[in-house]
Chain A
Amino acid sequence: MTWELIAVLAAITYASRAASLVLLPSLPHGLRMVLDRMPAALFAGLAVHSVVVPGVGLVDAQVLAATGAAIVAAPLRSLPVCLVAGVAGYLLWGLIL
């Protein structure tokens, strides 16, 4: 790791954040509707992304228990509640097994 590589990664990351937030013109309604539907699906995909070992399978059962508990709490639509449920699921699984 070098300062040059950090600078490149920082530039890519900031540019990706600023690109549409700063430069994007007003979008057509149809495209905006498609974009509006993406975040929840994207976050769900990232949740799965973080519990899968590519080409191998799923991560350990305790992490899956935490994820499952968060999914159970998801209908309450509260980030802190999901977090607490996930931690509770993780600890409970550890106590049981």
Chain B
Amino acid sequence: MSASEDDEPTSTPFARPGRSGLLLAAAPLAFAIGVFGMIFGAAASLEMDPALAVGMSLLVFSGTLQFATLGLLAGGAGVAAIVVTALALNARHVVLGAVLRPKLGGSALRRTVLAWFMLDESFGLALAAGRRAAFVLLVSGAIFFAAWVLGTVLGVLGARLIAVEGLAAALFPVLFVGLSAITVRGRGGVVRVAAAAALVLIVSLLVPEAHAFAPIVAALLVALPGERRS
């Protein structure tokens, strides 16, 4: 594995250059996030006050954590279990931020604002956008935030998209496959992706207690081998 093979992205996720390309790439994701939000809102209103459900989407803005919290609440888990789950699931943000940091530039204040909009989907688009990373992170993140909150409100109000509810369960893995596809670099990257997927599968099946931590640990393990210096 050479350094250049690792460093060079092989294509862009945008079908067209410029803002229209960004909007075209973000639109289907925003729709999917809106559907997730709607399902979250409908499910959350069974577990908590509707105002809390909307407040959670406004303040936490993390579908993975919010759905995990709902599952824990439904299973009767306590505050400690929810907080530990939050720490485990959010650990990936530290890695994603460290990867994106050199591409953003600007002042600390600017990055403080941008941090709010760094979720998995906007990170993937921003990383693939190269020099326009900050702009893409801001615009796509703002669109996804609006879709998430609007979806939650509609779900709380009783809106249901029966036709796509079953499909929503499939959208999480599909989105992550897509994000992996646009961020993978070189053949070595593809090998690492396959190795990380296999590791997570094995750990999740054999050591269920490590399920929440498995993705971040596997990603670190497969990232260590290879060239360290240019």
Q: Which A residues have a C-beta under 8 Å from some C-beta of B? A: 1-3, 5-10, 12-14, 16-22, 24, 26-27, 29-30, 32-52, 54-57, 59, 62-63, 66-67, 69-71, 73-87, 90-91
Are B29 and A83 within 8 A (Cβ)?
Answer: yes
Chain A to chain B contacts (Cβ below 8 Å), 30 pairs: A9-B65, A17-B93, A19-B97, A22-B115, A27-B98, A33-B3, A33-B228, A35-B223, A38-B223, A39-B95, A39-B127, A40-B180, A44-B177, A44-B194, A45-B199, A46-B92, A55-B204, A57-B205, A63-B170, A67-B173, A67-B177, A70-B178, A77-B10, A78-B178, A79-B29, A79-B125, A82-B174, A82-B177, A87-B167, A91-B167
Number of interface residues of B (CB under 8 A): 107
- Other than the known A20-B95, A75-B181, A83-B29, what 18 A-B pairs have Cβ atoms closer than 8 Å? A1-B48, A9-B65, A20-B97, A29-B230, A33-B7, A38-B99, A39-B99, A41-B218, A42-B96, A44-B193, A47-B177, A48-B204, A55-B204, A74-B181, A77-B11, A77-B184, A86-B174, A87-B170
Q: Which A residues lie within 8 Å of B123 (CB)?
A: 39
Contact with A along B48-64 (1 / 0, CB 8 A): 11001001100111101
Partner of B170, one of A3, A34, A66: A66
Instruction: Give B210-230 interface residues, CB cut-off 8 Å to A.
Output: 211, 214-216, 218-220, 222-224, 226-230
